[in-house]
Structure 1
């Protein structure tokens, strides 16, 4: 019987250069599959350039600087001296192509002693108008006082909150007056006009074309002409017919007149 030698297992032998080539190819494929696609420049969020805004709220009497110690002749036929004037602006916004950029929600300005300034910021761009309200809109006017920082413009330390009404004074306008225009002595009577309540909130939009850039400071001035608190050329505030109103239902017509005159006394300019 013829015996055959046992079969040997077949071992495939690959050349070393083939193995090396395979490893290199695999590594290249892995590297290529892990490499990120280049970002689309249009999808990269660019930082927004901001512009500094210096806001000045300035009291005047007609075309002259306002002086709380001066006695003026009013359109109502009285000699008047204003000893306290402070008010809320809320909100303050610049408008660009119908889109509003808010500078602040609400701020309190006491201009009794002269102009008051704020330094704010907005996105750089071209704007067409400025809008704000004199007073507080209902959503702020009815906020619970205990939820607000006492030192905030609408906080308890502002001296603007009516506890009896659970809402705010919008404008405090106080001083002295005399019905005798030719007298020279002290003013014998007091006036105290505090607008408030939602129906006394007044909002206006002012055309104000300006370009705000990141390189320059934009300056905006809101002029408060106290002489026009007494007339707008149509309505006249005669203090002899009513010199006190603190939001009571009685005399509400006086409060509405005062609110109309006060918003009409504001004007704006930019540089």
Structure 2
């Protein structure tokens, strides 16, 4: 009887182990083979409020009120880091995007052919890197023409606009609604390209049958109201409005972009 009982216990243990292995194999989180997709979603906000173009009064810590009409930025050079520290560099040829608040579809970057894995970090550039620009216009393919169509480039010699931030503002000293325009990009000896690295609060599980969505908040208030405080009224040029496209403030704004982006959450659907 004891012998039979031992045999029954052994058979049950083997059955449980088999079921456990089967469940592990069927769990998509454990099938780390092949390639998958990853969506990177940029959600523009102003401080704690969702950004609404043309109708929202946004107040900075400098006491200026902004009505934002347009926000665009180039995202490039995406690098994804796995939990083991290894990285995947997204191909340059497909790796330049223009995110526009006015174009909802542009705000989700649909990355393809990503090696399956558990990803914990993303790095990306804001703008077109100097090496790519110096490689010449023909290397850009159709992207330079696309950037011109999106008002994200000047002439080829002047280069790309890495970030565009425009609208109207008022302040204690500028009481009439006045235009502001901020464009980062090449200015003299300064190229003003910036890279940002963000950690994920949860792993992004890229699988053949799972496409994670990494939801990034972009706080556009930080452009002029970040570590460096820039007053539009100090840059007001009378009838032309506040124009920041060169000068020392452009470097300060570029530095602010380091803290403009945060990962709010990751969906593994």
Per the normalisation by structure 1, the TM-score is 0.71
Following superposition, the deviation at residue 54 of structure 1 comes to: 1.8
Please name the residue that 2:213 is paired with.
219
Contact 2:44 2:217 in 1 (8 A): yes
- Paired residue for 1:68, among 53, 62, 71? 53
Superposition pairs of residues 94-113 of structure 1, within 5 angstroms:
94-96=80-82, 97-103=84-90, 104-112=94-102
Of 252, 260, 266, the residue aligned with 1:257 is 252
Give the total of aligned pairs: 217
Q: 1:151 to 1:140 in 2, by over 3 A?
A: closer
Give the C-alpha shift of residue 225 in structure 1: 0.9
- Over the aligned positions, Cα root-mean-square deviation in angstroms equals 2.7
> Higher helix fraction: Structure 1 or Structure 2?
2
**Following superposition of structure 1 onto structure 2, how do residues 107-146 of structure 1 map, counting pairs within 5 Å?**
107-112=97-102, 116-121=107-112, 122-146=114-138
**Following the alignment from structure 1 to structure 2, what is the Cα–Cα distance between the partners of residues 165 and 75?**
37
Which one of the candidate residues 182, 190, 198 is aligned to 1:193? 182
Partners of 1:168 and 1:258 in 2: CA distance: 16
How much does 1:99 deviate?
Answer: 3.1
- Could you list the runs of 5+ residues in structure 2 that have no partner in the other structure? 1-31, 236-241
Say which SS state the counterpart of residue 161 (structure 1) adopts.
coil
Q: CA deviation at 1:101?
A: 1.5
1:125-204 to 2 correspondence within 5 Å?
125-150=117-142, 155-163=147-155, 165-180=157-172, 188-197=177-186, 199-204=191-196
Please identify runs of 4+ aligned residues in structure 1 that moved more than 3 A: 112-115, 146-156
Unaligned 5+ runs, structure 1 = 1-46
In 2 relative to 1, CA 161–259 (structure 1 residues): closer, same or farther, beyond 3 Å? same
Give 1:164 shift. 6.9
Q: In the aligned structure 2, how far is the partner of 1:113 from the partner of 1:216?
A: 26
Tell me if the contact between 2:40 and 2:214 (Cα under 8 Å) persists in the aligned partners: yes
| Alpha-carbon displacement from aligned partner over 1:128-183 (angstroms, at most 9, x marks no partner) | 211111112112233433554446676543422222744211001111100139x7
Please give the alpha-carbon distance, in whole angstroms, between the structure 2 residues aligned to 1:259 and 1:112.
22
Query: TM-score, normalised on structure 2?
Result: 0.71
Partner SS, residue 199 of structure 1: coil
